[in-house]
Structure 1
Amino acid sequence: MADQPPTPVPPSSNGDTPPRGTQADQTPKKQILLNAFDMFTPGHLSPGQWKNPLDTSATKFDGLDYWLNLARLLERGGINALFLADTYGGYDTYQSSLDECIRRGAQWPVGDPTIPISAMAAVTKNLAFGITASTSFEPPFLLAKRFSTLDHLTGGRVGWNIVTGWKKSAFRAVGVEEPVEHEERYERAGEYLRVLYKLWNASWPSPSHTPLPSHDYYNPSPSLIRPINHHGKFFSLSTPHICPPSPQRVPFLFQAGTSPAGSSFATTHAEAIFVSSHSAAVLKPKVAKLRELAREKGRDPASLKVFATFTPVVGKTEEEARQKYEEARRNASVVGGLVLFSGWTGIDISGFSSDLDREIGASDSREKHKVLSILENFTTPSEEVPKWTPRVVAERAAIGGLGPVAVGTAQKVADEMERWVREADVDGFNLAYVTTPGTWEEVVELLVPELRRRGVYPELEGEEGWTAREKIYGRGQKELRKDHVGRRYDWDVYVEDPPYEAAGEKGDEERKEEGKEKVVV
């Protein structure tokens, strides 16, 4: 059986239980959630910063000490989670080649983000970990096993950033010549999630077992561990989950993407959605639409947490912050930023060199496979960016990449964050770095104390054992909320689905009769 939700308390301004450190009889300010946004690669969203002698990402990203030191620093600052991006192939849209991607270190090379998680968990107590993994490149059973294992080893501090994969280079790397079409990728991902809910929630009861040494029984009731017999359009398996229920059963679910198919998928499955825009005004209607879709699906729209990309450059003074930013501009790899832009949007911007002030539009995207939400992000004008041109893209893509860059004192940067929360209705931020550990030290030592002074970021309490989900929804909410679709697959209510039948193979009436014969197992 799943945990019962926490005892109801008066809601906070964002519709959840009051955050840690507040009294139930108060009306606390909306708490800002902060994730550190990184990747097992040099530079991540600010290519070229490896030239700064104080940056460690280029020379140490593939060593364990890099990740242990980062985890300790984020833990000290009370950061909610380390959100790790991932990719399965290089960016080859720019000049129709991987050469500049490799040459500039534009998210190349890339390691596996799941590997250092256990080690980082061993040196922290409260930091959560959001790990990117695709529904396109491995069977759901293997992903279920890996995330259950990590959830056990971290004490429930694991989240999954669900991606479907889109790059041709990634599909070719696993032996598929062309990526699956956009709509079909999300249809496939939907079935992938249903299989996972069955494995994570429907296979094992809770408590899972009580060993009886006197009978030589490690698990006295094997009949209670249910085989999942799933025979769908894309996946077919007959097996119980091989791992016992982990602290959360289901990892905390992130998802990115605001295309129509992505939004529908996200508001069905995600507990937190990762969005990007250079303008709070442009982002506001998208967030409102996501919350409305969640409401239409029977979910509490306030429970859907929205994180925006945000790159802070913080100094003790305005002058110090500006000097840091100017240094970042000198080190920035413009070509590296354009490689990322071209890969994300499907626009080979290398062909625009003859007119750097020509306006760029979505129609310039010649590549069929791209991230539609990012294409829209880089082609929608706003007050901040009234016209997207190659010159503007070169400046924006090379530092911070997907979202705004806020430069100034902690007070100024905190003002900007609060403005985005207020105007765009986001719940928090995935903080990108310019240099590491420099940006993270600025966040921990300058920005977080300022946010705490304003009462919008929780104080450290010394209490351990919070799962990733509890840190978002409150103590006691270890498993999916009751209004989440995954709870339909709980062990005590699960009903096996009938086998998939292709359209036209059976009549509607015959399918209805089969549906009546479903057996509760």
Structure 2
Amino acid sequence: MVKQIILNAFDMNSAMHNSHGLWKHPESKRHRQYKDLDYWIDLAKLLERGRFDAIFFADVLGVYDVYRNSKAPSIRDGLQVPLNDPALLVSAMASVTENLGFAVTVSTTYEPPFGNARRFSTLDHLTKGRVAWNVVTSYLPNAARNFGLTDMIKHDERYKIADEFLEVSYKLWESSWEEDAVVEDPQNQVLVKPEKVHEINHEGHYFQVEGPHLSEPSPQRTPVIYQAGTSEKGREFASKHAECVFVGGPTPERIRYYAEDIRERAAKHGRNPDHIKIFSFLSVIVAKTTEEAHQKYQEYMSHWSSDAAKAQFGASGYDISEYEELDPDEPFTYGKTTEGGHYKAASLTKDAAKQLTVGEALKRFDTPDKSLIVGNPEEVADAIQLQFEESGVDGFNLNHLVTPGDLESFIDLVIPILQERGLYKQFYKSGTLREKLFDYESGRLPSGHPASDYRLPENTNRRGR
């Protein structure tokens, strides 16, 4: 059987996501309607019609303020602000769909694990097992100050916190409740057997949690674990915990390198490398003809904001405005290290196809990522297939510049071609999100994943095998 593409819609509960300045486009609806539940309900129906595996909700906890040492560029162009809580959309979107999954971003740096575990158990119940958690450690200095810190916690320590956060979460999800704890026995006046609900009594370096978990076991118990990160610490964390990993790179070869590295690390952790799905980013502008697609691209570029793109690069910890007065022919290098997102910084240095000059680096912000695919449906399908096969990824996070028009065009024009080629599913598999993504016999995590170490013997039976 031909390997098929897994597809997530990359989104955010905000006025704009990564479509810098395109709120000005006359067909853009999201900045006006993202506060309207009907907008998200219609989007869920659209994505299920397109057989998308999930909608992936990115999230941040602060404003990008590194560029020009100011929040103004981000606020002015709606760079992920205003921004609402994505988790609150899931129940409504799940109520009008049967198969679409929901990956929700939550930071391990600023939220306690006990409440987060209950949030995801609740969502897993309400969606009948269609929820995933995108684990992030947060990279914005403003986020740190929003949670009472003077400075950001250092990059590598954030991953140490995340590691213990996951340990607490696994204990709550996997070992607090036995499978048959809820008995509903009116004759003996017992709804839940107390002896089958256990405290976890976690005493760690960062967290102390007594338990028990407040929620009874959900269809997946532990939600599908998503994670993004190409730094050394990020790849190590992903190889231990993640089931779906997002990697970026300037070429298919670089993406393949990260994918193979993560899978090799996973094997060293005692995991089956096949239990990890690798995703990269995908941006598409498609129209019925090549000429129309390029006209659409030029129209988009007339609204593009390089300032917003530079502001978003501040997630790296580097203020790109400091380079704007330098000789454009000078080699582009960093003079210091930061505690920001390493993957962002690497995009202009070690992950670039060649050594960039200052002028070349600055020019990167004048347009969307160069990996943007523009063309007619056949051309776009060809480019996606080539990237899919050369990079070795399992799927893509599809960005969309003008919403919902770009998603509608992709679903109507490109999806049918990918289906005809056998590269994309005609129908959904049954079961939970985990069962849809992997060939497991149940919606529970497989043995070999670190969460399975906390599973009670009573909870194994045939589940999670």
Which TM-score tier does this pair reach, normalised by the shorter chain? over 0.9
Residue 187 of structure 1 is aligned with which of 160, 170, 174? Answer: 160
- Partner of 2:55, secondary structure, is strand
Q: Which amino acid aligns with 1:325?
A: Y
The alpha-carbon deviation at position 303 of structure 1 amounts to: 2.0
Kindly indicate whether residue 343 of structure 2 is the aligned counterpart of residue 378 of structure 1.
no
Residue 426 of structure 1 is aligned with which of 393, 400, 418? Answer: 393
Kindly indicate whether residue 439 of structure 2 is the aligned counterpart of residue 474 of structure 1.
yes
Counterpart of 1:487 in structure 2 is 452
The alpha-carbon deviation at position 493 of structure 1 amounts to: 7.8
Kindly indicate whether residue 212 of structure 2 is the aligned counterpart of residue 240 of structure 1.
yes
**Which stretch shows the higher mean deviation, 172-181 or 390-399?**
390-399
Q: 1:475 to 1:189 in 2, by over 3 A?
A: closer
Contact 2:222 2:444 in 1 (8 A): yes
Per-residue CA shift, 1:159-215, capped at 9, x if unaligned?
000001122100100111111111111111111101000000000111332111122
The alpha-carbon deviation at position 265 of structure 1 amounts to: 0.8
Q: Which amino acid aligns with 1:417?
A: I
Kindly indicate whether residue 257 of structure 2 is the aligned counterpart of residue 285 of structure 1.
yes
Q: 1:303 to 1:336 in 2, by over 3 A?
A: same
Counterpart of 2:58 in structure 1 is 85
Contact 1:362 1:376 in 2 (8 A): no
**Which stretch shows the higher mean deviation, 44-53 or 350-359?**
350-359
Q: Which amino acid aligns with 2:110?
A: F
The alpha-carbon deviation at position 390 of structure 1 amounts to: 5.6
Counterpart of 1:254 in structure 2 is 226
Counterpart of 1:114 in structure 2 is 87
For residues 45 and 394 of structure 1, what CA distance do their matches in structure 2 show? 18
Kindly indicate whether residue 322 of structure 2 is the aligned counterpart of residue 322 of structure 1.
no
The alpha-carbon deviation at position 253 of structure 1 amounts to: 0.4
Q: How do 1:105-184 residues align onto structure 2 when only pairs under 5 Å count?
A: 105-184=78-157
Kindly indicate whether residue 24 of structure 2 is the aligned counterpart of residue 39 of structure 1.
no
For residues 277 and 290 of structure 2, what CA distance do their matches in structure 1 show? 32
For residues 483 and 360 of structure 1, what CA distance do their matches in structure 2 show? 46
Counterpart of 1:270 in structure 2 is 242
Contact 2:255 2:280 in 1 (8 A): no
Counterpart of 2:422 in structure 1 is 455
Contact 2:316 2:344 in 1 (8 A): yes
Per-residue CA shift, 1:124-183, capped at 9, x if unaligned?
110000000000112100000000000000111000000011221001001111111111
**Unpaired runs of at least 5, structure 2:** 460-465
The alpha-carbon deviation at position 256 of structure 1 amounts to: 0.6
- Partner of 1:35, secondary structure, is strand
For residues 381 and 153 of structure 1, what CA distance do their matches in structure 2 show? 41
Q: Which amino acid aligns with 1:408?
A: G
For residues 367 and 120 of structure 2, what CA distance do their matches in structure 1 show? 32
Contact 1:47 1:399 in 2 (8 A): no
Kindly indicate whether residue 409 of structure 2 is the aligned counterpart of residue 442 of structure 1.
yes
The alpha-carbon deviation at position 352 of structure 1 amounts to: 2.4
Indicate the percent of aligned positions where both proteins have the same amino acid: 39
Contact 1:46 1:399 in 2 (8 A): no
Contact 1:308 1:430 in 2 (8 A): yes
For residues 452 and 387 of structure 1, what CA distance do their matches in structure 2 show? 39
Per-residue CA shift, 1:227-255, capped at 9, x if unaligned?
11110111112111010000000110000
- Partner of 1:228, secondary structure, is coil
For residues 368 and 88 of structure 2, what CA distance do their matches in structure 1 show? 25
Kindly indicate whether residue 42 of structure 2 is the aligned counterpart of residue 69 of structure 1.
yes
Contact 1:197 1:486 in 2 (8 A): yes
Per-residue CA shift, 1:57-79, capped at 9, x if unaligned?
11111211121111110010000
- Partner of 2:98, secondary structure, is coil
Residue 404 of structure 1 is aligned with which of 346, 355, 371? Answer: 371
For residues 411 and 151 of structure 1, what CA distance do their matches in structure 2 show? 38
Q: Which amino acid aligns with 1:378?
A: L
**Unpaired runs of at least 5, structure 1:** 1-27, 495-521
Contact 1:349 1:390 in 2 (8 A): no
Contact 1:344 1:374 in 2 (8 A): yes
For residues 180 and 381 of structure 1, what CA distance do their matches in structure 2 show? 25
Counterpart of 2:380 in structure 1 is 413
Please say which structure displays the higher CA radius of gyration: 1
Contact 1:85 1:131 in 2 (8 A): yes
The alpha-carbon deviation at position 369 of structure 1 amounts to: 2.1
Normalised by the size of structure 2, how large is the TM-score?
0.94
Contact 1:400 1:433 in 2 (8 A): no
- Partner of 1:363, secondary structure, is coil
Per-residue CA shift, 1:461-484, capped at 9, x if unaligned?
5x7x53111111136330111121
Q: Which amino acid aligns with 1:167?
A: L
Aligned residue pairs total: 459
Contact 1:47 1:398 in 2 (8 A): no
- Partner of 1:429, secondary structure, is strand
Kindly indicate whether residue 31 of structure 2 is the aligned counterpart of residue 58 of structure 1.
yes
For residues 330 and 390 of structure 2, what CA distance do their matches in structure 1 show? 27
For residues 400 and 205 of structure 1, what CA distance do their matches in structure 2 show? 50
The alpha-carbon deviation at position 314 of structure 1 amounts to: 1.0
Counterpart of 1:513 in structure 2 is none
For residues 440 and 184 of structure 2, what CA distance do their matches in structure 1 show? 29
- Partner of 1:309, secondary structure, is strand
Contact 2:16 2:80 in 1 (8 A): yes
Normalised by the size of structure 1, how large is the TM-score?
0.84
CA RMSD between the two structures: 1.9
Counterpart of 2:463 in structure 1 is none
